[in-house]
Structure 1
């Protein structure tokens, strides 16, 4: 009902105007370039939610590869005689392993892994396996490794031998003869006797940049095509943990992947209606990989660290807070992280980075302390970090929190406190209805320019259905004109959350959806991509009747100039349900090209979504419009977002 009333308001507001040619005039003054637009303006925020890391961005296809879940055989189907042991393990921080005994039974003995809602396999591609194994037998012990499709048919297999009483690393490849989205991986002991196996791993050979043990290539490609200026990681709420013992500790995520200790993921039990008890963090995607990803994509890394508070929503007892006089190790974690990222290869943590294959520094410039913390508990801890960071690394920009909401008593309390503490940027979060986003297009027009800059670190328009529909995308496109217009204040933005597995999500909406073989980009993704790709270098004033265009007649607009491409770029959203004819008065452009390129995102159905069966239901379409002079008239269809580029 609320959506219907809102659309009716848009209709009545625009009916009388739409029929009058040239009645709506947008004035763009190219002689008055404004604030520079930061390279970090449009970024992405990664959180390990919705199978975002294991089962998503991280290319590993085996779930619970080291038998370290609370129930160590979760993800595995044992057959024959299989037990879990921890005596003289292969890896000290992942001590469990499986012991397989075979005494001649018809079924054999072994393990079958279900993957992350199945294992996606593609015909003609190779899959690289790793198994650590040992045997006390005096003879070689033979193992068979198989890929089994969803019809329980073997579509690929190989054999290997275990010959040592010491742990040995077995590697090889398997090529399936057919594709399957729900395959399993099976390991069978063929020789009578006993073997121990650990860290059973399977990766596609084709990872991002073909790195062994790397990231899922199609998901990283989707990120690359967004052209992000900054990547915030590793979360949100996973940074805090539901208690201090489960907080995200970056030091557990570096070094050899085989010896990075597993951690529970708070999203496996956060929502009772979406329980995911098989959701853990292997940390195979760790801080080194995050920094490397940022470098690959040309984005600034923005790590988020615990401030010594567990999630304030979930944990309210004294054990949820590190006492102020015991914060030293948390502060040291922050200092050590900067050394890991930026220190010379001869330093303690710089050597860890160099030993992982990256002797050169990552040149980290940003750090966030805390996620959505609030109240005096937060503001008495943050200054301790700020003092230490300013003393040793004065050039690092520090991001503080404005709490979990975009308004209210906590928000109003935190902003003045962030000014007092001296945060460089303040992280604002808003998950609200599309109508809220429309009304907030002028949010930053009146913010105080003397204080910290703004990082819109988590935002998404939540429709009633919580779908990634065109309704949410159009609202975000309209709202983002206000972000862009205020680029002197707003230095970074990122939609949230980023990734979601169709069969293992806890939260929606999300920017990018996927299954084990396919990636589906949402309309919201294309809005983010268009803003980031055509962000320009400086803002330009664009007005209608002497005012910023923030919803009059259902229209929203911003303008930038791109000194690199010599273009003026307009972003215009028509949120009404009738077309609007607009005269563009391009002041200060004496030599305008007589045509413009338009990238158009539109739909006549607000509820329309992209799906695996229709992944391009809503995508940007390119067209050319011709100009006769510097005051062309254009018609913007109803429910449409435009990026219009004019060559100077």
Structure 2
């Protein structure tokens, strides 16, 4: 044997194996090779009034059933005091043409002192959250049939200790409906407080729209939104807000559908309806779940403008929920539904001299909202949907050709139903097709390359509703790191395919810990507190670092969509002058990778953001920061970053360039 040749072979073999190993661990990011433009709307939020998301959620009204229009007129209210006899408190129902708010309460009080005759409101799920030293604004509409009553307004805690008081003396004696308010300050806090109204004196007083709002609303707007919840959205810097929801747009039947024109104008003229989630979930019934529409289309547009997001309204297309009734309006009676869409565009974009632009201006917003996107239906399917979608498309494009129309591909991403809709909508030259997926974490991992083969020149994709659902658990326990990291892996595929996918939003957005029905959810709240789930921090990381151009990312000549448990995408931000690489390690062991950053003149130091945890870890009210981003710095070696990717982690590498 030639030992010299033998050892040479061993040496060369070792070198080759080392080179192969090094090549395997090398990830090449090339910013000079653009894979497409990232839409400014790439990452957004989807709001629906589910899980007490609106009333009892972002809409800061604290009085439940303020207008006595629930199916049980006194739901949320109780009558109190030893000076109340039969008939002293009555619900009256006035009749009239198209009256949106027919009921009111009449108090007929005879010689009562404070504490002897009154009414109490329990608030929404879990009571009223009252904060020490905060001002609360109480208001009502009233009509004095017989003057003589004063109202003592009280805030109480769980033990009935009085936290704040004020007196309201009705001043209008015309016998017509009038509005009046009074403010009171809380001297202590209570997570589950309530409101008392005590009558003093003798008289007959009609009352409606009895309301209580905190003064610390978003932007300090009276009768506005809960500031901490909106701040969580603003912090995400979403590209769009999809509203007013999904299934509530359809309604259980067409009578229960969402009608935007009934959600604008004076609050007392907005017609309350039962929220379809009132009766939907047998495991968590919600007989007190209604939509007051204090949060209506004007407020949604205003909110979008506030946080710099594109408004994305969804309208009913003449079809009710196909899981409930599958009721449809006949095609020859579809015109009013189409006209609603045309009128909405005028409401949003028309000048103040147009019919609906004048309505918007009268509500305090003379400038147009600059609507660019409109959804036609939600999770509708079948040939009956295609027929109605075509009618909407024809009418809207004829009058407003620049409006981007979004059409439904049904309820799932894989079925024969989906493929039928996708084919028909592409044949219609649909602008954007809305795809939804509530699937297991494993599905998200396996589908990270879903859009690699989609037609770059066809319809764009809106990933309108998605969330990884961990099986056999309930409530907040579904928002585990296992779900969040699977979503992160999938989102690298969405980002890599931004030439196809131009919008994406997790769903649902909010859940009240006392009133949730569907989980998982992005953000959880109670009366006093709020926390973001691990899923929220994943969404926020992508949304606040979306870049402007997709950069090439290859390992051994291939994109990374699960090879060795690794998922990677990269973008260039031409505005902030940053190169951003997102790496997801789904293995339960650390991985070491060399990331070569090509095509730009880079700074010498990079910023690392790391999200990591055990697969069953989660955030909660008690531990809101169990999984939150951690920051670190990393020195580059020339154009190479030597990265250690922790087990089950999302790591973002961000480096400035000249």
- Give the shorter-chain TM-score range: over 0.9
1:379-458 to 2 correspondences below 5 Å = 379-458=386-465
Query: Is the 8 Å Cα contact of residues 434 and 461 (structure 1) preserved in structure 2?
Result: yes
What is the deviation of 1:100?
1.4
5+ residue gaps, structure 2: 1-16
Query: Is the 8 Å Cα contact of residues 145 and 206 (structure 2) preserved in structure 1?
Result: no
| Separation in structure 1 between the aligned mates of residue 458 and residue 205 of structure 2, nearest angstrom | 63
1:297-446 to 2 correspondences below 5 Å = 297-316=307-326, 320-446=327-453
Greater Cα radius of gyration, structure 1 or 2: 2
| Separation in structure 1 between the aligned mates of residue 150 and residue 358 of structure 2, nearest angstrom | 39
More displaced stretch, 377-386 vs 443-452: 443-452
CA RMSD of aligned residues (A): 1.7
| Separation in structure 2 between the aligned mates of residue 489 and residue 142 of structure 1, nearest angstrom | 63
The DSSP-based 3-state class of the residue aligned with 1:473 is: helix
Match of 1:266 in 2: 276
Aligned positions, number: 626
What is the deviation of 1:633?
1.7
Query: Is the 8 Å Cα contact of residues 148 and 203 (structure 2) preserved in structure 1?
Result: no
What is the deviation of 1:134?
1.9
The DSSP-based 3-state class of the residue aligned with 2:169 is: strand
Query: Is the 8 Å Cα contact of residues 23 and 556 (structure 2) preserved in structure 1?
Result: no
| Separation in structure 1 between the aligned mates of residue 612 and residue 312 of structure 2, nearest angstrom | 33
| Separation in structure 2 between the aligned mates of residue 450 and residue 408 of structure 1, nearest angstrom | 24
Match of 2:525 in 1: 514
Match of 1:30 in 2: 31
Residue from 570, 576, 579 that aligns with 1:568: 579
1:536-615 to 2 correspondences below 5 Å = 536-589=547-600, 591-603=601-613, 605-615=614-624
Residue from 606, 623, 626 that aligns with 2:632: 623
| Separation in structure 2 between the aligned mates of residue 88 and residue 427 of structure 1, nearest angstrom | 42
The DSSP-based 3-state class of the residue aligned with 1:35 is: strand
Query: Is the 8 Å Cα contact of residues 540 and 560 (structure 1) preserved in structure 2?
Result: yes
Query: Is the 8 Å Cα contact of residues 22 and 581 (structure 1) preserved in structure 2?
Result: no
**Deviation string, structure 1 residues 393-445 (Cα, Å, up to 9, x no partner):** 00001000110001111001000110122210000000000000000000000
Match of 1:6 in 2: none
What is the deviation of 1:89?
9.2
Match of 2:59 in 1: 58
More displaced stretch, 23-32 vs 566-575: 23-32
**Deviation string, structure 1 residues 84-138 (Cα, Å, up to 9, x no partner):** 012489994111111112234685222111111211111111011111112222x
Match of 2:298 in 1: 288
Query: Is the 8 Å Cα contact of residues 167 and 182 (structure 2) preserved in structure 1?
Result: no
| Separation in structure 2 between the aligned mates of residue 632 and residue 20 of structure 1, nearest angstrom | 17
| Separation in structure 2 between the aligned mates of residue 480 and residue 87 of structure 1, nearest angstrom | 54
| Separation in structure 2 between the aligned mates of residue 91 and residue 60 of structure 1, nearest angstrom | 25
Match of 2:6 in 1: none
Match of 1:13 in 2: none
Match of 1:225 in 2: 235
Query: Is the 8 Å Cα contact of residues 596 and 624 (structure 1) preserved in structure 2?
Result: yes
5+ residue gaps, structure 1: 1-15
Q: Residues 90 and 412 from structure 1, CA distance in 2 versus in 1: closer, same or farther, beyond 3 angstroms?
A: closer
Give the TM-score normalised by structure 2.
Answer: 0.93
More displaced stretch, 81-90 vs 464-473: 81-90
Are 1:197 and 2:198 matched, yes or no? Answer: no
| Separation in structure 1 between the aligned mates of residue 341 and residue 79 of structure 2, nearest angstrom | 42
**Deviation string, structure 1 residues 309-335 (Cα, Å, up to 9, x no partner):** 00001113xxx1100000010000000
Match of 2:14 in 1: none
Query: Is the 8 Å Cα contact of residues 21 and 581 (structure 1) preserved in structure 2?
Result: no
Are 1:476 and 2:476 matched, yes or no? Answer: no
Give the TM-score normalised by structure 1.
Answer: 0.94
| Separation in structure 2 between the aligned mates of residue 379 and residue 108 of structure 1, nearest angstrom | 62
| Separation in structure 1 between the aligned mates of residue 490 and residue 611 of structure 2, nearest angstrom | 15
Query: Is the 8 Å Cα contact of residues 112 and 202 (structure 2) preserved in structure 1?
Result: no
| Separation in structure 2 between the aligned mates of residue 212 and residue 91 of structure 1, nearest angstrom | 27
